[in-house]
A and B are shown apart, each in its own frame.
Chain A
Amino acid sequence: MSLERRLQHAFTELAKQNHEQPNSSTVVKAIAGQSGKSIQSRRTFLANSLAASGGLALAISLRGNKVVSAKEATISAGQDGFSPNAFIDITADAGVKVFALHDEMGQGTHTGLAIFVCEELEIDPSEVRVEHAPADGRYNHAAFGVQMTGGSTSMTTAGEVMRKAAATAREMLISAAAERWSVDRTKCRAEDGHIHNTESGQKLGYSELASNAAQLEVPKDVALKAPKDFTRIGKPTHRVDSASKVRGTALFSFDRKVDGMLTAMVERSPYFGGQLERFDDSAAKKVPGVRAVVEVDSGVAVVADGYWSALKGRRALDIQWSPGRGAMLDSRELRSQYHDMAKRKARTVESEGDCEQSLANHETLHASYEVPFQAHAPMEPLSCLVTLRDDGGADLVTGSQFLGVDRMLVAAKLQVDQEKVSIENSYLGGGFGRRANPKSDFLVEAVDVALAAKKAGVTAPIKTVWSREDDIRGGWYRPMYVNAMSASFKDGKLDAWRHRVVGQSPIRGTLFEPVIVVDGLDTWAVEGATKLPYHISNKLVELQTVTLPVPVQWWRSVGHSNSAFAKESFLDECAEKLGRDPLELRQELLRDHPRLLRVLNTAAEQAHWKQPLPEGMGRGISVHESFQSFSAHVVEASVEDGKPKIHRIVIAIDCGPTVNPDQVIAQMEGAANFALSATLEGEITFKNGQVEQSNFDDFRVVRMHEAPKIEVHIVDSRDPMGGIGEVGVPGVASAVCSALHDATGKRVRRLPIGDQLS
C-alpha cells in the first residue's frame, strides 16, 4: 500500500478511536466513509467539497484567526470583506489574506501555497499576506484527511485545493466588477491585483470589490488556468517570510505570550520509561519567581515567572527516579546485540527470485552498515502555551506540524469534545519531523502542566518550554539501525542482493500501529530498501524489529535516511569487487529507470566525474528515489588531520515540475548540510541508561567552516510532481563515505564518521 493510503487509513482509524467524543472533525468522518477510494478521487472530493459546497464554505469565515459563527460571518463578510472559502479572505483594509493549510518550518511552503493562489488570483505573492491556519477540519491535508504537514507532500497535494479556492475568488471578483460597471463579464479581466475593464480601461482593486463580491453566490465550477498560461508557478519567487524572519518580527511559538503568562519547565526522567519515586521541592520553592512545583505524568514541573527562574527552580529540585527498563540502555551493548541479530534470518518484507539460493551457490560479499539514534534538534526548542477555559476546554498556542492529531489528543487529555480545544499555530523554528509527534507529546504535557498547576491554585496561562538539553535528551529520535547487506556475483554480474534491516519501529506503540504496521512489519523502517531499482534478478528485503524503551519517531526522510546509506554504500563495494566504475555500474543497473538515470548522469556530468582530482581528494556518487522525487549526489572530500573535509557537493534533482525552483535549490542545499551533520559527527548514544549528549557541544551540527560548496541542478521534467523537503537527505552519507574511501582507501560503515579516519 502506498504511503498516502497507509496514512489515510491511520488517520481514519485515529478519528474512530477518538469517537467516543461526539462531533469529532466532520471532514475526518467524511473521509472515513471514502476510505476505499483512490487518492485522486479523495483529492477531488475534498477540493469539490471546499470549493463547490458554497453554502458551507461561505457560511464560515475567519476573522482574526478565530472561527466565527455562520451568522456572524455572513454579516461581517457583507460589511467589510469577502471570504469565498476557508483559504482566502479579502478585506478593504487588510487586502488579500491566504490561510495556509500547511505549516511553515523553513521548507518554503507558505510561499509555495501563495504562488498557487496568486497564479489563479492574478496578484503578486509579495502583495498577499499568508497566515497560519488554526486547528480546524477545513484545513485537513488534501490526501491524508487530517490537518498536518509532512511526508514532503504539501506542494503535491495542496496545489489543486489552493488554486481552486483562488480561481473561485477571482471569478467572483470579476462578476462583482462587471456588475459595478454594468458590462458583460467577458469584458473584465483579472491582472496585477485588479479587475480591468478591457473596454473602458478602468480598473478596480480587489479590496474595493470585496464587499460586492461577498454578496454573490459562490460559483460551482470554475476553470483553472492551463499550465501553458502559468506566469508564477515554476518561476523563481522570493519567499513571503524572508523580511519578517530576518528582522526578528516573525512570531514563533517561543515568542508568543498572553497577559499574565507564566513559564514552566519539566524535569523528566533521565531514563526512558523511568518512574518518579519521590521529590523534595523545598529548595526549588525558595527560588525567587517560582510560583508552584507540581507533579505531572512526565515528571515534575516548575512553574515560574520566566525562563530563568523556572530553570533555577528546576535545578534546585531533589528527585529520586526508579530507572526501570531504561537503565539497561548502553550503546556499545546495543550495537553488538543488533549486529548479532543481523546475522540471523529476519522477517521477509519483499522477495524476488531466489536470493538465498544464489547466495549459497556463488561468490558473495557481505558488509554491515550502522546508523545511530539521531535527534531532530530543531533550532527553536519546543514550547506550548496553554490557557485553560472555564468550560473544561483549552486554548493552545504552539508550533506544530500535526494540528489535526494534536487537537484530538489534547481533547482526549482534557476529556472534552474537540470543539472545546483551539490551537493557534506559529512559524516553526525547524521541525524535521519532531513537531509531528504521534502522541502530541509536548502539547499534551503542556496541558498536563496547566491542569496540575490549576489544582495547585495557579490559574494563569502557562507556557511550558524546553531547554536544549531537554530537547537533546528528550527522546523521539530517528531509530538506530544495523543493515546486513549480502550480494552474490555470477559471470561478473550482480546476481543477488539481500538487505536485512534491524531496528525499532517508529510506529509501534502509537495510535498508528494497528494500520501502518502490516502483519507485524513496519514498512517505513524498510522504505528505500524495498523497491530496489537496480536490475538484479534475486532480491530479498528482511526486517528484524527491535523493542526498546527509547521513544523513536520519523526524522527528515524517515526510513530512507538509513536505507539509502546502506544500499548505496554497498553498491559501491560491489562495484569495487567487480572492478567496475561506480557510476558505470549504476548506469547499467538502472537501465529501466529513466528518471534515476537522468539525475545520475546530470550529477556526474556537472561534477566532471571522469576528470582526475588533485592528490588526496576523492569522489563518491549516489542516486536514490524518495517521496516520488529523484536525486543524485556527487561528493568531493579529503581527510585533513584525521578529520573528513567535504569540499563540494554536486546535486541533481528531478521532482517533476517545480512550483518555486529557488526553494527547490534551497531545500537541497539545506538538506545536504542537515544530512552532513548526521554523517560527520551527530549521534545520540546511551551509557548507564542515560543519553550521553546534552547540547550543541556534544551533539555536533555542521558549522560554517565545515559546510561545503553546494551546486544544485534541477532536471527539467514533465513527469509527475514529487516532494522536496526530505529528498535531499538520503543520498548524502553514502556519497561522503564513498568519496573518503576513494581518497584514503578506508571504508566507513558506521555513522557518524567521527574519528574513524584518524
Chain B
Amino acid sequence: MQITFELNGQRTSVEVEPDRPLLWVLREDLGLTGTKFGCGRALCGACTLHVDGEATRACAFPIKYAEGTAITTIENLESDPLGKAVVDAWIEKDVVQCGWCQPGQCMSAAALLKEVASPDDSAIDAAMSGNLCRCGTYPRIREAIKVAAANVKEEQL
C-alpha cells in the first residue's frame, strides 16, 4: 500500500504493508534510528514522535494512519525554537545516561511545552509518566523541562 505523509517537513511516500508500525518504517526503511524501540506496546515512550504536533507512540501506530499527516521525529526537533530549547536544556543539564529513552523524552517534553508554557510538577508528572527511564534520570528530566520553559520565556520577552 502506498502511504504519503510529510516527514520532518519533506513529502514522503512509502510502499508498505498497512499494519506495519510507523516505528519500523522510520527505522528500517527510512534510516531514521533516532526514534527508539523499548516495548512495542505503547508502554515505555521510547518511540515517541509528533503526529500533527501531538506526542504519539510510533510502535503502536500502524503506518496506514500516517496518510496525510505531518510527522516530526527527534532528527528534526531542533528546527522548531521550542524543540531546540528542549534539546539545549537536555545537553546543559547532562540528563542522559544510557540515552536510549531520551529522544522519546525530548519529544514528549516538547509536546508538553507547546501546551503549557511553564509546566509545574504535576503537569510534568502527567505529561511525562508515559516515558520510562530505566536509568532513572527523572530528576534531571524534570529540571531540564523547567530550564527549557524558562529559556523560551526569556526569549519571548
Contact = CB atoms under 8 A, between A and B. Distances in A.
A703 B129 contact: yes
B39 A468 contact: yes
A139 interface: no
Given A247-B87, A695-B43, A666 B35 contact: no
A248 B74 contact: yes
Contacts of B130: 703
B139 A696 contact: no
A703 B17 contact: no
A239 B24 contact: no
Interface stretch (A94-102, A186-194, A374-382, A733-741): A374-382
A457 B44 CA distance: 37
Contact of B106 (A246, A251, A701, A710): A246
Given A308-B21, A695-B41, A705-B125, A379 B96 contact: no
Given A246-B87, A248-B34, A248-B103, A707 B24 contact: no
Contacts of B39: 468, 695-696
Contacts of B134: 377-379, 430, 432, 674, 677, 701
A167 interface: no
A583 B120 CA distance: 35
B111 interface: no
A108 B97 contact: yes
Q: Range of interface residues on chain A? A: 35 or more
Contacts, number: 176
Interface string B8-50: 0000000001001100100111001111111111011010000
B39 to A, nearest CB: 5
B63 to A, nearest CB: 10
A468 B130 CA distance: 16
B100 interface: yes
Interface residues of B, number: 56
Nearest to A250: B99
B128 interface: yes
Interface string B117-154: 00000001110111111111111111000000000000
A445 to B, nearest CB: 19
B94 A380 contact: no
A431 B97 CA distance: 11
B95 interface: yes
A379 B97 CA distance: 11
A247 B34 contact: yes
B91 interface: yes
Contact of A239 (B41, B43, B46, B94): B94
Contacts of A239: 94, 96
B123 to A, nearest CB: 11
Contacts of A251: 33
A431 to B, nearest CB: 8
A255 interface: yes
19 contacts: A105-B98, A238-B94, A247-B34, A251-B33, A252-B36, A254-B33, A308-B17, A379-B100, A429-B100, A430-B135, A468-B41, A663-B94, A666-B97, A673-B136, A696-B132, A697-B43, A705-B125, A705-B129, A707-B136
Given A307-B37, A379-B46, A696-B41, 4 more contacts: A247-B75, A248-B73, A379-B135, A663-B94
Interface of A: 105-108, 238-239, 241-243, 245-252, 254-255, 263, 288, 306-308, 311, 377-381, 427-432, 467-468, 662-663, 666, 669-674, 676-677, 695-697, 701-705, 707, 709-710
